[in-house]
Structure 1
Amino acid sequence: MHVLFVCNGNVCRSVIAERVTRAVAVEYGLTGLTAESAGTRALVGFPVEPLAAQTIAGLGADPDGFRARKLKPEMIDRADLVLTMTEQIRDQIAEMGFGVGARTFTLLEAHRIAKVTGAGAIATLHAARNDLSLVGRENISDPIGLSEAAYCEVGDRIAEALVPLLVALAPGEHTRPGQDQPGLVVGPDAPAAPLASFLAAQRIR
């Protein structure tokens, strides 16, 4: 499963999500799980914003070697799942091609639907979308210009929504090294994902 994360500048939120996804893939041995990120108004060529890089490292992921990229149609075409940081970006992307809307969600929207339905497939998320529409905003705010604590809060919010969603949807064996039990299936009473606990314990305060 290839996941595309999209925000505005592609130096904070979407990068955090991309690098956490890569850490999840390693932690759970999900060799079929890959990720990239882009921005609708990307600061092309810029590295990760320093406080975002610090947040990524604090979450147990690797911020190095990144350069911001502008969102392009071919990125959307190759993505199995597109997760945006805001509803506005989601709606913008959904109009960029036939069938794109069926695999494009805000991160918080996808997490909420999966939690309620126990969905294990992207198609199931989409099928339940209309029945589980929410009146209100499911956006993750841009922390640019804010404090270190604000970046930590955004990082935690992304990780808490993203980790269980990925483990539920990603192909492959949902097991951690040295463990035989299956990993998290997102559901109403699902326990916290092991990696989510790890990330929370490691985060920068």
Structure 2
Amino acid sequence: MFKIVLVCTGNTCRSPMAAALLTDLAAKAGLAGTILVDSAGIAAGRQPASAAAQSVMRQAGLNLDRHYSEQLSLAQLQSADLILTMTQAHKRAVAGMAPGMTDKIYTLAELAGQAGDVADPYGGSETEYRNCARQIQQLLLAAWGKIVTLAGKK
């Protein structure tokens, strides 16, 4: 099993949407039993996914209704094969929590061969969430070949 952890700030918007989208990609590729996807936040309490994130994912045929945010833990980082953050700031925070694991920590954009961060839609309109989900989907598709290659090496 190849374990991927997606990380954002509060684990109510970006990382749960990314986890749902990546889980769907893996399932459609017949890799649901090979790739395990999880998400967490660097400053998360126990909150449900935001209403807008739930709505946008429902429109995409995915479900965040049972998602509750989770605080990122060292154990989670240690058990991960790949850690994908939404921003450079998240990457630095995760690297600070997990010295010696920097070889498996990337921003989603980096893994996709692009620059920039995935902007936080928190508190924004449903359109902003939809645009965020679209950006995440595009980055995941661009990174998919690398993810499959990494998973195949495990």
TM-score w.r.t. length of structure 1: 0.68
Q: C-alpha offsets along residues 130-153 of structure 1, whole Å, 9 cap, x if unaligned?
A: xxxx6xxx2111111111111100
Q: Runs in 1 of length 4+ with deviation above 6 angstroms?
A: none
Letter in 1 for 2:50: E
**Corresponding residue of 1:5:** 6
**Corresponding residue of 2:34:** 32
Q: Greater share of strand residues, 1 or 2?
A: 2
- Distance, in Å, in 2 between the alignment partners of 1:58 and 1:166 is 22
Q: What is the correspondence of 1:55-70 to structure 2 with a 5 Å cutoff?
A: 55-70=56-71
**Corresponding residue of 1:140:** 118
Gaps of 5+ in 2: none
How far residue 27 of structure 1 moved from its aligned partner, in angstroms, is: 0.6
State the Cα RMSD in Å.
1.6
**Corresponding residue of 2:45:** 43
Q: C-alpha offsets along residues 89-124 of structure 1, whole Å, 9 cap, x if unaligned?
A: 1011112234311110110111016xxxxxxxxxxx
- Distance, in Å, in 1 between the alignment partners of 2:119 and 2:61 is 22
**Corresponding residue of 1:14:** 15
Letter in 2 for 1:33: I
How far residue 62 of structure 1 moved from its aligned partner, in angstroms, is: 2.2
- Distance, in Å, in 1 between the alignment partners of 2:107 and 2:60 is 21
Q: Is the 8 A contact 1:95 1:101 kept in 2?
A: no
- Distance, in Å, in 1 between the alignment partners of 2:106 and 2:49 is 23
SS in 2 for 1:43: coil
How far residue 59 of structure 1 moved from its aligned partner, in angstroms, is: 2.6
Whichever of the two has the greater Rg, that structure is 1
The count of corresponding residues between Structure 1 and Structure 2 is: 148
